[in-house]
Every structure is written in C-alpha cells, then in structure tokens.
Amino acid sequence: MSEVERIGPQALPALQQQVEAILAEAARQGASACEVAVSAGQGLSTTVRQGEVETVEFNRDQGFGITLYVGQRKGSASTSATGEAAIRETVAAALAIAKHASEDECAGLADAALMARELPELDLYHPWSITPEQAVEQALACEAAAFAADQRIKNADGTSLSTHQGCRIYGNSHGFIGGYASTRHSLSCVMIAEGEGQMQRDYWYDVNRQGELLADAADIGQRAAVRAVSRLGARPVPTCEVPVLFAAELAGGLFSHLLAAISGGNLYRHSSFLEGALGQRLFPEWLSLDERPHLPRALGSATFDGDGLATYAKPFVEKGELVSYVLGTYSGRKLGLPSTANSGGVHNLFVTHGDEDQQALIRRMGRGLLVTELMGQGLNLVTGDYSRGAAGFWIENGEIQFPVQEVTIAGNLRDMFRQIVAVGRDLERRGNICTGSVLIEKMTVAGS
C-alpha cells in the first residue's frame, strides 16, 4: 500500500472535523449532552492452505457511533455511512431513542473537570509496506516450514497473515477531542498431525504493532508443527486432585476472569462472586497485578478511556489484596465510587512473576497436569465455579510423560487464585495481559 492509500495520522484532522460536526448537529437537534467516536481503518489479509492461496482480501471501513442525552435520558445509534445526511439521520435516531428511554440518574458524561488534558505519544502507528504478493509468500513459507518439520504433519488448517491500520477519534460536548492512529499485524499457522491412530491439531502465531518485528515465518510454522505432533497419542487420565500448570498463552485467561469479576458492570448488577471484595486478600502476598496504559508500542496502550478520562498506571491487586475495581464513569456512579478511567477495559495488565521458566515449574510440580488447551466457557461468574474441558500433558517425577485429552479441570476461582504457587518468567506478550505460566496447588482433573 502506498502512503497515499494508508489510513494513518494524516486522516486524523478530517475525522476530528467530523466529530465536531456531529457534536454540533446533536446540539442543534436538542441534545443536552453528546459523545461520539469516529473510526476509519483498512487492512490486508491472506490465507493459504496446502500450498494454495485460499483468500486475499483488502478491507476498508469507517463509521461513527453516537450517544446523546436529553437530561437523564440516553440514546445511542451508529452508522457506517458518511456525509451530512447520515449525520442528521443518525443523530435524529439517537435522539428518538433517548426521548423514549427511562430516566437514569447515573446517565451522562463524565465530569468536565476530569477530561484528559495531556495525551502522550505512544508510538502505536507502524504501517507495514508489504504487498499482497509478499504476504502470500510469507504465509506459504510459514506453512512449508511446518510441513518440513515432521513427516507426521499431513494436513494444514490454514496459515494467515494480516496487516491493519486505522484511526479513532473520540469527542464529547465538554469540548474534549482525542484520537490516535494505530497498526496491528499478525501471522498464524494451524497444522494437523496424524499418527498413533489419531489426528491432532495445534497452532502458533505472533502479533505486533510493527510487522517487521513479527517472529520469523519459518519459526512460527515449525512451532505449530511441533505442537501438533506432540499431541499424538493423547489419552485421558483417571480422575484425581493434582497441581495444574497453565501454559503462559492460557494463563492470561485466569486474570481476565478476575477483571470480569471486578468490573463495575458485573458488580452493580450483583452478578460477581467478588462483590464487596475490595480490601480482601485474594492472592498470595507476593503477587500483584498492575495496569500500565502508556507503554510505547504495546498492544493494549491508550491515553484516554471510553469516557475521555486520562488513563494512568495503577495496581488492581497489591501484595495479594484487591485494592481497586475496574470502573468507568457510569458503573462508578452506580456503585458510589469514582471512575478508575477504565471505561472500555484495562490497558496492559502485568502479573508479578518469578525467575523460573516453564520447565522449572514442571519440575517443581512433580506430578500433575500441564494445560495447553482449554475448551468451553465453563465459568459461573456469580459463584466463581470453574469447569472447562482441557488438553495438555501429564507430568510425573517432574517430567512430561504423555499427552492428555478428554479431561475436565474444575475448581473455584477464589481457591484457585489463593492457591497460585508460582508465576513463570516465560511471559506471554502477545496480548493485553502479560503473565507467565501459572502453577496452581491443586484442582480436580476429571477423566476416565
């Protein structure tokens, strides 16, 4: 893509003008307050399979979403159309919804005095000058490396490369307008191994703000192949209660469950097992969880939240104790607490980790289950009960013995959090939660 074609920082002034026009139209039609987010993006993606190109797609989209208020009544609408007519019609639709909505004393914009004043540069925009031909070439090289890694790799389930760049502007009738351009690039490979009377599937991938910093295509393919082959011969194990080690690429899910449980929406709806848990010891004393929203080039970085409040670094768990909920303006008002500038979620969560890698944690565990895949959505957020299908490897005498499948791991998140024995230094950095492998003292493994 040429520089002219790209949606990058050069598009921000036009999007800002659109935000200003939408805010003005909302005021003209009688809204007492308004907030709007305008976005534009484009990307290239390609998928290959068995040495053949399956898809090459170029996408480009834009649109805006508006929320406006008539007193304490709220209405929202969105559109992918542009132009003055689209703005008028979308504002009118949101206004009609607001006029029919019930009054809500917590509805409305965040306090004007709390709007972000300074927006630091986070270096999130790194366009990748890759042509469709080059993207196909990289994907084919990744898949070819997977096939070459082991003769038991018999089939492929798709290797995909994607690159995306876009812009987002948020503004409200307090006069706040902020925005940024960002990029995201990824390469993934899914392979199928055959042997020992089985077919097993596994994958590997990488994602980065900078396409040139993605892991080598051949390395990703080889890793996907090795993972698939290693699962051949998998079998269930007898039901038992043993230590469980969550591989780093899965361990972030444990902490995402925590974030859901301490999010304002679930708390004010009384649908969280951690309602009223502020100030309680939930984890071992050595463990902390903190948010770092202003890391340059990080995947979760942001200078302001969904309400226009400045994001800031803070702990959610400090020395094992829950010290903060995850609150936006509305949920904070519902709970009688100030916003934590987390409307829209948490930005770059870091988990305390030790000096041991995954192999060291396996040796420490001695006997138990290393989990490398989870299936299903078996979490009851009201009670904290956790039960999910799992696959991985059985550990005896501190060493991997054989692959495991068709088992279920179960526990309660309160117990699981409290019984975290260690977090490894094999940090997973491909997402919003940075953690290593997590060793839990004991869980129920239900098998044959």
Provide the pLDDT confidence category of residue 82 given band limits of 50, 70 and 90. Answer: confident
Dihedrals φ, ψ of 406, to 5°?
A: 55, 45
Q: Pull the structure tokens for residue 283.
A: 């984890």
Write down the pTM of the prediction.
0.93
Of 228, 259, 290, the residue at which a domain comes to its end is 228
Asked if residue 394 is part of any domain, the answer here is yes
222 shares its domain with 145 = yes
55 shares its domain with 191 = yes
Please give the Cα distance from 130 to 212 (Å, whole number). 10
Asked if residue 355 is part of any domain, the answer here is yes
Asked if residue 24 is part of any domain, the answer here is yes
Q: What is the CA radius of gyration of the chain?
A: 24
Query: 108-159: per-residue pLDDT in tens?
Result: 999 999 999 999 999 999 999 999 999 999 999 999 999 999 999 999 999 9
Q: How many CA atoms lie within 13 A of 376 on its CB side?
A: 14
DSSP 8-state class, residue 435? B
Please give the Cα distance from 393 to 229 (Å, whole number). 13
Domain count, the chain: 2
Query: 24-33: per-residue pLDDT in tens?
Result: 999 999 999 9
50 shares its domain with 165 = yes
Whole-number average pLDDT of the chain:
96
163 shares its domain with 273 = no
Please give the Cα distance from 232 to 136 (Å, whole number). 30
Nearest by Cα to 71 from 99, 111, 93? 99
Q: Is the pLDDT of residue 3 over 70?
A: no
Asked if residue 413 is part of any domain, the answer here is yes
Would you tell me how many other CB atoms lie within 10 Å of the CB of residue 132?
16
269 shares its domain with 220 = no
Residue 56 and residue 191 in contact, taking contact as beta carbons nearer than 8 Å: no
* Mean pLDDT within 369-398: 96
- The pLDDT value given to residue 377: 85
Q: Is the pLDDT of residue 6 over 90?
A: no
Asked if residue 4 is part of any domain, the answer here is no
CATH number of the CATH domain containing 90: 3.30.2290.10
- The pLDDT value given to residue 5: 55
The pairing of beta strand 433-434 with beta strand 420-423: unpaired
Would you tell me how many other CB atoms lie within 10 Å of the CB of residue 343?
22
Please give the Cα distance from 6 to 11 (Å, whole number). 9
Would you tell me how many other CB atoms lie within 10 Å of the CB of residue 204?
23
Q: Is the pLDDT of residue 2 over 70?
A: no
Query: 341-357: per-residue pLDDT in tens?
Result: 999 999 999 999 999 99
Of 228, 259, 282, the residue at which a domain comes to its end is 228
Residue 187 and residue 205 in contact, taking contact as beta carbons nearer than 8 Å: yes
More reliable by pLDDT, 347 or 83:
347
- The pLDDT value given to residue 7: 84
63 shares its domain with 183 = yes
How many percent of the chain have pLDDT more than 70?
A: 99
Burial class of residue 448, CB neighbours in 10 A (0-12, 13-18, 19+)? exposed
Q: Pull the structure tokens for residue 133.
A: 């031909």
Asked if residue 85 is part of any domain, the answer here is yes
Helix, coil or strand: residue 66: strand
Q: Is the pLDDT of residue 392 over 50?
A: yes
287 shares its domain with 199 = no
215 shares its domain with 245 = no
The Cα-based distances of 66 to 85, 93, 298, 355 in angstroms read 15, 10, 28, 47
- The pLDDT value given to residue 205: 98
The Cα-based distances of 432 to 12, 34, 291, 447 in angstroms read 25, 29, 10, 32
Asked if residue 2 is part of any domain, the answer here is no
Maximum separation of any 2 CA atoms in the chain, in Å: 73
The Cα-based distances of 159 to 81, 136, 139, 149, 154 in angstroms read 33, 10, 6, 15, 14
Q: Pull the structure tokens for residue 34.
A: 């308004």
Distance of CA 117 to the CA centre of its chain: 27
The runs of H, that is alpha helices, within 101-179 are 132-149
131 shares its domain with 151 = yes
Query: 89-115: per-residue pLDDT in tens?
Result: 999 999 999 999 999 999 999 999 999
* Mean pLDDT within 395-416: 97
Residue 162 and residue 44 in contact, taking contact as beta carbons nearer than 8 Å: yes
Q: Is the pLDDT of residue 369 over 90?
A: yes
Q: Which domain holds residue 378?
A: 234-447
Provide the pLDDT confidence category of residue 422 given band limits of 50, 70 and 90. Answer: very high
193 shares its domain with 320 = no
Query: 232-285: per-residue pLDDT in tens?
Result: 999 999 999 999 999 999 999 999 999 999 999 999 999 999 999 999 999 999
247 shares its domain with 396 = yes
The pairing of beta strand 420-423 with beta strand 438-446: antiparallel
Which residue carries 């390469």 as its tokens?
187
Of 228, 259, 293, the residue at which a domain comes to its end is 228
Asked if residue 69 is part of any domain, the answer here is yes
192 shares its domain with 253 = no
Burial class of residue 16, CB neighbours in 10 A (0-12, 13-18, 19+)? middle
- The pLDDT value given to residue 4: 37
